[in-house]
């Protein structure tokens, strides 16, 4: 009996602590959204004169929308690169033996845990030595390289759950490796690949540390926002941030819908972080 009451008291404290942590995590996001509708601009309590003025200004802002377009292009290309090289990398880690495999695995996963500044600067030096002009292309190469780790981790986790017998059967029945890959291996990895693509897309849309060093004349959205922040706080930034938040939220909901259809799929962010730290 006494143990139960003590346990309940413990749960009470823990519950209160959890509530505080959730407030800490969500209050800034809530403030951001509320003040995007505040007529008086950012700050000032309580918020008053609710307005859509800032959204109006935002929608007429050509530079922002140009940067949104750039970011969408970069993110789409980054997804393509990361998948084209990340999926084979996961297959290679799963089923090929080659010298330097351990080093290869560590190298692929390193950008996941390494501060972005190191990935960004090392690539900047490469482009400097090879005389490559900085542009959206260099950002694409940077994002693609950094995010291969995400595709590899997700797909590798998917491969661990794949029944190899299906592929064996396909090969025994006379299909070529190419056919087996397209008709058996890939469809089985579908969910991991879509999950990885969504995650890479969102991460690329938000990425700033690597882009910071590889930017040419055209800005991506985060860099455009960054440029404005240096000049001062304006409520349009709250407005665009609110839109980004809703966009991310939509992607998450989409992903969970998808996951609900196929059971036993990899747990996206959690698994990623675990593997990122452990390196295997």
Partner 1 sequence: MFSRAYRIAITVPPLAWVTIFLLVPYLLMFCFSFWSVSSTQTILRSWTLQNYKQLFMKDVYWETLLRSMWIAARVMMFSLALGYPLAYFLSFYAGKRKDLLYQMVIIPLWVSYLVRAYAWKTILGSDGVLNTLLQYAHLTQHPLDFLLYSPFAVVLTLTHIYTPFAFLPIYAALEHIPRNLVEASNDLGASPRQTFWRVIFPLSIPGVVAGATFAFVLSLGDFLAPLLLGGPSGIMISNIVVTLFGAAYNWPLGAAISLCMLVLVVSLLFLSEKLEKKWSFS
Q: Scan residues 35-64 and list those touching partner 1 (CB under 8 A).
A: 35, 42-46
| DSSP structural state of residue 38 | B
Answer yes or no: are the C-beta atoms of 233 and 42 closer than 8 Å: yes
Is 274 a binder of partner 1 (CB under 8 A)? yes
- Residue owning tokens 């972005």: 116
Q: How far is the CB of 10 from partner 1 (least distance, A)?
A: 6
Q: Which residues have CB under 8 Å from 221's CB, separation 6+?
A: 64, 67, 68, 70, 71, 205, 240, 244
Site size for partner 1 (CB under 8 A): 94
Smallest gap from residue 186 Cβ to partner 1 (A): 12
Contact 166, 184 (CB under 8 A): yes
Q: 158: which 2 tokens?
A: 């998917």
Of residues 82-141, those binding partner 1 (CB under 8 A): 84-86, 88-89, 91-92, 95-96, 98, 104, 107-108, 110-111, 113-118, 121-126, 128-129, 141
- Token pair belonging to 28: 């800034």
260 makes contact with partner 1 (CB under 8 A): no
Query: Per CB under 8 A, which of residues 237..256 are in contact with partner 1?
Result: 237-238, 241, 244-245, 248-249, 251-252, 256
Residue 240 exposed, middle or buried by CB count within 10 Å (0-12, 13-18, 19+): buried
CB 98, min distance to partner 1, A = 6
Binding to partner 1 in span 155-214, by CB under 8 A: 164, 167-168, 171, 177, 202, 205-206, 208-209, 212-213
């Amino acid at each position: 009996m006494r143990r139960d009451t003590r346990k309940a008291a413990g749960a009470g404290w823990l519950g209160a602590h959890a509530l505080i942590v959730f407030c800490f995590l969500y209050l800034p996001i809530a403030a951001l959204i509320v003040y995007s509708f505040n007529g008086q601009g950012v700050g000032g309590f309580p918020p008053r004169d609710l307005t859509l003025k800032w959204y109006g200004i935002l929608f007429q802002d050509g530079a922002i929308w140009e940067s949104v377009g750039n970011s969408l292009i970069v993110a789409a290309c980054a997804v393509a690169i990361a998948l084209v090289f990340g999926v084979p990398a996961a297959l290679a880690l799963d089923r090929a033996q080659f010298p330097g495999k351990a080093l290869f695995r560590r190298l692929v996963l390193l950008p996941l845990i390494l501060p972005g500044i190191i990935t960004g600067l090392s690539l900047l030096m490469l482009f400097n030595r090879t005389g490559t002009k900085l542009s959206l292309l260099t950002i694409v190469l940077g994002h693609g390289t950094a995010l291969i780790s995400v595709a590899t981790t997700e797909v590798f986790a998917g491969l661990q759950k794949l029944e190899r017998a299906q592929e064996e059967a396909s090969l025994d029945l006379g299909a070529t490796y190419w056919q087996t890959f397209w008709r058996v291996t890939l469809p089985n990895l579908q969910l991991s690949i879509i999950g990885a693509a969504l995650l890479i897309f969102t991460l690329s849309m938000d990425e700033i540390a690597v882009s910071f060093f590889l930017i040419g004349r055209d800005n991506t959205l985060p860099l455009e926002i960054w440029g404005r922040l240096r000049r001062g706080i304006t409520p349009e930034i709250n407005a665009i941030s609110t839109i980004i938040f809703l966009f991310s939220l939509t992607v998450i909901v989409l992903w969970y819908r998808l996951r609900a259809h196929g059971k036993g799929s990899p747990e996206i962010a959690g698994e990623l972080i675990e593997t990122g730290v452990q390196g295997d």
